[in-house]
A and B are shown apart, each in its own frame.
Chain A
Amino acid sequence: MIRFLLRKLGLFLLIFIGITFLSFSLTYLSPSDPAEIQLNKTGVAPTEELLEQTREEMGLNRPLLVRYGDWLSGLLTGQMGVSLRNGQPVAQELLQALPPTAILTAASMAVVLLVSLPLGILCARFPNRLLDGGVRFLTYFFSSLPSFFLALAALYVFSVRLGWFTVLAAPGAEGYVMPVAVLSLSLSAWYIRQVRGVVRTELSQGYIEGARARGVSERRILFAHVLKNSLLPILTLAGISLASMLGGTTIVENIFSIRGLGRLALEAITARDYPVIQGYVVWMALAFLVVNFLVDLSYGLIDPRVRRGAGK
């Protein structure tokens, strides 16, 4: 178990360094010079000499790795510089926008699991019946629709036509109903098919045939054997699907005017507020990394074979 943990931890650290380094280097993609932005902000006309001096002051002339190290330690201690838009610390900006996105993501994930697990299992258990066919058609339909169209259609039908919700996000729980519905609908379309596939594969294993021959009841086969063995792949897929969920929040927050991280990131992009964009990317990637690391670790806890396999 210890070796398993160490190996996983090593990989985690490696990817952590990769992610942070890549996010750090994103600055080099931007066509504008940070020193120039700094000078423009103070209203000084930038001359070549002044630019050079500002670069020196801002530490832009130091070697790449030194600057990366500084940036990384700042990231870990919550000092990620100040926003170029309003001079607020980046960490504070991000923290303020975190709760709506966290609520949106957690609620949508819960809905996805509640909808997809039973439906996926039912479709796998009774394949090619009416339910399976209907679900297949619906999942195909919804996975080919852009999520922003779904969101706009929901706004049109439920806010404009029926008047059930206000067009601008209402404060409190009510404002989350439509965003959560839209986000979870797009993702469920993908997830139901995955769950169905995993359970179908498990049901076609030889030992199921054996259990049937021994007279084990169908219910017991499904719950005691199939679900237990399908749990790990289903969990992994849920971890991976968090990525598209987080990506979806940028669009959904924007349409439903929720003041979350995705909206903050877009405002930052429009204003060329690079520190905020950088902070957003790196923290989103780290959140995704940590969740998948935990899923990976739970493999070892749930399934002793994984642990031993890794210890070899």
Chain B
Amino acid sequence: MRRNGKWHRGKTRPASRRRMVCCLLLVLALLALAAAGRFLAPHDPYKASLSQALQPPSAQYPFGTDNLGRCLLSRVLAGASASLFSALAVVAVVSVFGTAVGLAAGYLGGWVDQALMKLTMVFQAFPSFILAVAVAGMLGPGLGNALLSLMAMYWTTYARLARSLALRLKEEPYIQAARLCGASRRQILARHILPNMVSSMLVTAVSDIGNVILSLAGLSFLGLGVEAPSAEWGLMISNGRAYLQTAPWCILFPSLALFVSVVLFNLAGDAGRDFLEQED
């Protein structure tokens, strides 16, 4: 929670601000790379040529080729948008939805709160990845279904966080003052409570992106996400399994791309959290 005031602002150590800006720039660079991936690819990521199958990394194919002779570098670049932007979409949807649920529960209280919180408890009572596997399995494979199942798995965090923040903010003197001044419930929620929650929710969302990327790749790896022949990192790794002994690069490079992305988002999340704590 941020209290506005010059003195609190002044206390922010420039180091934590600089670190956050650095991390955000790196994340933006990664996203730009993902958006431009298709155009940067040296070869057509979908063009198979069996005579070039399972070539080790070389000057022509820096990451080598897969079992159908497709250029792995091009596929890793093309797959970035499927992996990263899907994860971003999931986090965007669940954070908005969860915040709405949590706000309603925390601010309205009473039976609404009871009912909504019991619902989140039921969802949390499922081992999360197993819930995603089951939902994706019931719906059938496909990227859209995988994203839906991830949303079912991730929204509870935001509902609980938003509820606890709303409960705390509700008791703040300035909210009570606003109420005394005759502000409507809607005004209080939209003008006072929501803006004060945004920074915490945002930091949580950024720290979650790495996990969502990993879960999505996990689903694709199990054959429950993106379908072949799409380029997606989890699916590429799954494809490479059969060639583990002869062509380990099929697994290595998509995994490396996953790892770098997850680390970058995690670092950004941590930097944001530190920055927020300093600011408090």
User: Using a CB–CB distance below 8 Å, which chain A residues touch chain B?
Assistant: 14-15, 18-19, 22-23, 26-27, 29-31, 140, 143-149, 152, 155-156, 160, 167, 242-244, 246-248, 250-251, 254-255, 265-266, 268-270, 272, 274, 277-278, 280-281, 284-285, 288-289, 292
Contact = CB atoms under 8 A, between A and B. Distances in A.
Interface of B: 118-119, 121-123, 125-131, 133-140, 210, 214, 217-218, 221-224, 234, 237-238, 241, 244-245, 248, 251, 255, 258-259, 262-263, 266
Contacts of B123: 22
A15 B121 contact: yes
Given A26-B135, A152-B241, A251-B222, A288 B127 contact: yes
A284 B217 CA distance: 22
Nearest to B153: A247
12 contacts: A15-B125, A29-B138, A29-B139, A145-B262, A148-B221, A148-B238, A156-B245, A246-B129, A247-B133, A248-B129, A250-B133, A269-B136
Nearest to B210: A144
Contact of B128 (A30, A148, A244): A244
Contacts of B224: 269
A278 B128 CA distance: 15
Contacts of A284: 126-127, 130
B256 to A, nearest CB: 9
B77 to A, nearest CB: 19
Contacts of B210: 144
A243 B127 CA distance: 4
Contacts of A18: 118-119, 121-122, 125
A281 B131 contact: yes
A19 to B, nearest CB: 5
B244 A152 contact: yes
B139 A265 contact: no
Nearest to B141: A269
B262 A250 contact: no
A167 B258 CA distance: 25
B222 A144 contact: no
Given A144-B262, A152-B244, A247 B134 contact: no
Contact of B218 (A23, A146, A285): A146
A144 B125 contact: no
Contact of A26 (B134, B221, B222): B134
Given A30-B139, A266-B222, A277-B137, A288 B255 contact: no
B126 A149 contact: no
A244 B126 CA distance: 10
